[in-house]
Amino acid sequence: MASRTPSIPEGLDLITTPQQVIIRRRWFSWMVFPMLLFAIVWDGFLVFWYSTALLGKNTPWIMILFPIGHVAVGVGVTYYVLCSFFNRTDVILTPDQIAVATRPLPWPGNRRVPLREIHETEIRTRYGNTNQARANLVIMFVDGSNKERKLVTGITEWDHAEYMEGQIRRAVRLPEKA
């Protein structure tokens, strides 16, 4: 039976050139707007707090030091919101390697893996914490020493993970999964 080319799921783009195939996933979703509102309120409160603390006379040092952890959370949430608006992750398949690149804002997870190092692939479900409403999917690969390693992380849609894994398996020339 001949295998057919799977359709590209909504939210992914396939860019084909003679030298490479790029699977592009944009990070944007409507779920970013509640986080944007939260970031604005959170950061606004911290600006108010520090303007009050730093402009006041004889401000106790605890008023300046106590919210440092809150500032770190505010920076992290704000950066994630910015990344959600602007970033995209490209899975770049070339004849000799697979590269994962997230841009334009820096984010962990960029990597290059030679095709000869990929002996098998698998989709894994990862939960960050017990309160997380939705799991993150990770495409793993098995290397020559039979160790599982991360290849593509941060995928939220099952059909995206299946499509990417199928394209990776074709690039590596692994048999299709049933």
CATH of the structural domain 12-27+87-172, one choice from 3.40.50, 1.10.3210, 2.30.29, 1.10.3470: 2.30.29
Residue recorded with tokens 């995928």: 155
pTM of this structure: 0.85
Count of C-beta atoms within a 10 Å radius of residue 153: 19
Contact present, 89 and 105 (Cβ < 8 Å): no
Domain boundaries, the chain: 12-27+87-172, 32-84
- Check residue 109 and give left, alpha or beta (phi > 0: left; psi -120 to 50: alpha): left
pLDDT given for residue 1 in this prediction: 44
pLDDT given for residue 63 in this prediction: 87
Q: Output the CA–CA distances (angstroms, integers) from residue 67 to 7, 22, 43, 75, 79, in the order listed.
A: 49, 43, 11, 12, 18
96 Cβ contact partners less than 8 Å away, ≥ 6 residues apart: 114, 115
DSSP letter at 74 equals H
Tokens of 15: 């860019």
pLDDT tens for the chain, 178 residues: list them. Answer: 445 668 999 999 999 999 999 999 999 999 999 999 999 999 999 999 999 988 888 888 888 898 999 999 999 999 999 999 999 999 999 999 999 999 999 999 999 999 999 999 999 997 765 555 567 899 999 999 999 999 999 998 999 999 999 999 999 999 887 6
